[in-house]
């Protein structure tokens, strides 16, 4: 199955260019990431809020990033083999979200920190950052759920204040179950394509075409 997935998705080694917001965005070597989509009321909250704060990013699905964007050291096939091997030995688990924070001044990003069981996600990140998925990341990994990345620090400060107010009013369950990871590839700026999914404790699912 892995070879079938790789055959479908290992064709992008050429440059991908697109015009967005009045300038060219070019991917000479695609980046990849590993995410856990959040399809519950918390995810709906984040997606709605992001749409209000930054309408151009409204299409992005709510998610927790397990492996931040990276260039692969080898092929997609090698990355998928690493992914399947590691995740087959990890059981699904639940985490809880804490307060709204920002990465200012490093980046104008507003996010919700993972608090309870954050170490489980951090351990999963460390286990997966090897072999076909290995990458020397610029920043220490911190489990979180991004609300929005704004264009400037001032915009991010405004988004932060609004997000804190709205999150304080959220009355739903603030837990997230981590049970399925999706391997994604950057196609253009703010555009990611689902390549394959894997359920923790099991194996690779059919390739995604989205």
Q: Residue 186's CB: how many other CB atoms inside 10 A?
A: 19
Q: Which residue has the tokens 């076909």?
A: 132
- pLDDT digit string, tens, across residues 100-115: 999 999 999 999 999 9
Distance of alpha carbon 52 from alpha carbon 130, whole angstroms: 37
pLDDT at residue number 10: 42
Distance of alpha carbon 210 from alpha carbon 172, whole angstroms: 29
pLDDT at residue number 7: 41
Distance of alpha carbon 90 from alpha carbon 170, whole angstroms: 31
Token duo for residue 104: 């200012």
Residues in the chain: 210
pLDDT at residue number 38: 98
pLDDT at residue number 11: 38
pLDDT at residue number 132: 97
194 φ/ψ angles, rounded to the nearest 5 degrees: -70, 125
Look up the CATH superfamily of 2-207.
Cyclic phosphodiesterase (3.90.1140.10)
pLDDT at residue number 190: 85
Proportion of the chain above pLDDT 90, given as a percent:
80
pLDDT at residue number 155: 97
Going residue by residue through the chain, which has 210 residues, state the pLDDT in tens, using 9 for 90 and above: 444 444 444 433 333 333 333 334 444 689 999 999 999 999 999 999 999 999 999 999 999 999 999 999 999 999 999 999 999 999 999 999 999 999 999 999 999 999 999 999 999 999 999 999 999 999 999 999 999 999 999 999 999 999 999 999 999 999 999 999 999 999 998 899 999 999 999 866 545 444
HEC letters along the chain: CHHHHHHHHCCCCCCEEEEECCEEEEECCCCEEEEEECCCHHHHHHHHHHHHHCHHHCCCCCEEEEEEEECCCCCHHHHHHHHHHHHCCCCCEEEEEEEEEECCCCCCEEEEEECCCHHHHHHHHHHHCCHHHCCCCCCCCCCEEEEEECCCHHHHHHHHHHHHHHHHHCCCCCEEEECEEEEEEEEECCEEEEEEEEECCCCEEEECCC
> CA dist 195 to 29, 108, 174, 199, 209, Å?
16, 28, 28, 14, 7
pLDDT at residue number 203: 65
Question: Residue 117, by phi and psi: left (phi above 0), alpha (psi -120 to 50) or beta?
Answer: left
pLDDT at residue number 202: 81
Q: Of the candidates 64, 56, 40, 34, which has an alpha carbon nearest to the alpha carbon of residue 147?
A: 64
């Amino acid at each position: 199955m892995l070879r079938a997935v790789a055959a479908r998705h290992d064709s992008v080694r050429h440059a991908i260019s697109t015009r967005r917001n009045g300038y060219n965005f070019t991917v000479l070597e695609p980046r990849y990431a590993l995410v856990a989509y959040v399809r519950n009321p918390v995810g709906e909250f984040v997606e709605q809020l992001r749409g209000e704060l930054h309408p151009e990013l409204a299409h992005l699905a709510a998610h927790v990033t397990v492996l931040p964007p990276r260039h692969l050291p080898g092929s997609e096939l090698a990355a998928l083999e690493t992914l399947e091997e590691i995740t087959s030995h990890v059981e699904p688990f639940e985490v809880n979200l804490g307060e709204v924070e920002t990465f200012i001044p490093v980046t104008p990003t507003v996010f919700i920190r993972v608090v309870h069981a954050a170490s489980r996600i951090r351990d999963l990140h460390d286990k997966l950052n090897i072999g076909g998925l290995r990458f020397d990341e610029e920043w220490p990994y911190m489990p979180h759920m991004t609300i929005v990345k704004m264009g400037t620090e001032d915009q991010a400060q405004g988004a932060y204040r609004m997000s804190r107010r709205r999150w304080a009013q959220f009355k739903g369950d603030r837990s997230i179950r981590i049970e399925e990871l999706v391997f994604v590839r950057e196609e253009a700026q703010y555009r990611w394509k689902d390549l394959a999914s894997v359920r923790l404790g099991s194996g690779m699912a059919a390739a995604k075409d989205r």
